[in-house]
Chain A
């Protein structure tokens, strides 16, 4: 079996090994650029300390941006959607059963009508 076979998707093609080859070439170029960078950089010295306009560096735990603060804008922009979709997820078993039975009833109507 030829391991270099290209994946045919019906209307397109995908060869991961060719992609990987390209990726490696780009990685080498990036590495070459990086290796020509500043040599006097010293890890663990004042060079690597964050500069916060002269203020003291906060505790490590305070610097990390927690999950709750991420995508605030996304959820705010879609507030209308989330205000409807989240309350449906009640966590109540009776509701789960009602949804299941409701969908079953709806599907029976659809399938029988279009049969």
Chain B
């Protein structure tokens, strides 16, 4: 039943259409896959060497060790560590590509890109220890790009951005031997250590897992974020619209889907090219309408205000509206099913990255050197496809919502200080005084194993009701936008009194959209800045903050979870990571780690219970910091429960 799948009415509508038209979606495939293998779910299936595959009997009757002798602890830890490595690799490889683009732009090998945020360029150059005096922007950009690339191949030493963390945190990482040395190195070492017959101590494996994850959060992802700001401009608060109602019946609808802004940013420019607009008119369309899905959407949203069509689980649904003339994809979270679904409609699917091809799908390979031409070529294909629309197969949901995006570590909290006094002081003061209880990052994917958007929204509402400022990214942010939580006026209604006061005073929504999933690194910067501002302890683990990925599905989410935990933050995953087959590893993650890195995990699929755990954690941290009691505790809790039911 479509109503059980999603709480987003637009998605439900599209699902009904899919059902009527006999189109199989991710939910149908999920159902067909039931029941899913318990060994995989528990993490106790090992396929690492050819003596296997091996499985541990969780009931204790069958084998307790694999052929090599690895027990459940080793197997679970190795599998998990490889997920971290894959997730970190994805974010970092993205970061590497941005660095390459910056270099190409600096060398003048492409005219589609140039440095847009010179201030940030200089700031980063300084951080990298590059002497900027007397150098022009492109020279600096070239050196910054090259310095960033060094971070990937570096063998010894420490990642530059890791020094952004509070001093105490850096000391801890060094002491534990998890200070990341080089991005590629840690990922490679992780793969080495988890191959057959190497690391069999689950604690040691998870230690390297954390180091690998830190190369993501404080390395690859952060490089991606910062260099994207330099190349495409640092986002500023911007108004935009979300959901499938943004598809246009009378315009050529082009969807960009995936994770990188490199091509899509140029597509935005090309979509305004008079030649193409003329062509669109020739084909009977009033214009070219761009929309985004997943993190590519967030990238062009926060820099250009391009509407967001939907999040991860809506990629098929967008096609099912029958109104998408072309969908171009880059990398990550692209369902291979799009190939078949687009064939059921007139939609043209185009892959663009040499890293991501799908059989029987048109591939127009993107290279920075001729980015604009490629963008135009793809757009032209979309325009020419407009005529193939099946008029009676089009059904665009009416739902759309306005919201504000484009907050960053620089803009979001400086706003709190006002235009002329941009500082984190007011944020710290709000927490210290108890007007705010704390802050939470609610991030991550969506997953058909939980009602689409439901866990994100239920959790966020529970948090803001209790005066917790929420920052969000990626698919979680899109979920929040769809119901108005990212709109200052609408969102405010759901907030507790203390948070409401702040929203009213500064005109921000209670939930701040910080960007794509690599932009989770912005959250790390925010937290470090808060510590630096003073009054809330001297390490990230002292802060009354927590993180959550209530509907996670990707390996990238595991990498993010680990760098957040390793940075000292309590983190909740909705459905558990595949670790429950080992009691030791589970206890290590959900308990022991707190004593070691200050952060730990909890797995809680009920979003209200999860939010409560986060709130308790903040209360605990507030007590430890001897902060004033939360200002509106009573009032906040008495407020009627905002009802979103499963």
A joins B in a complex: no
Interface residues of B (CB under 8 A from A): none
- Contact surface of A with B, Cβ cutoff 8 Å: none
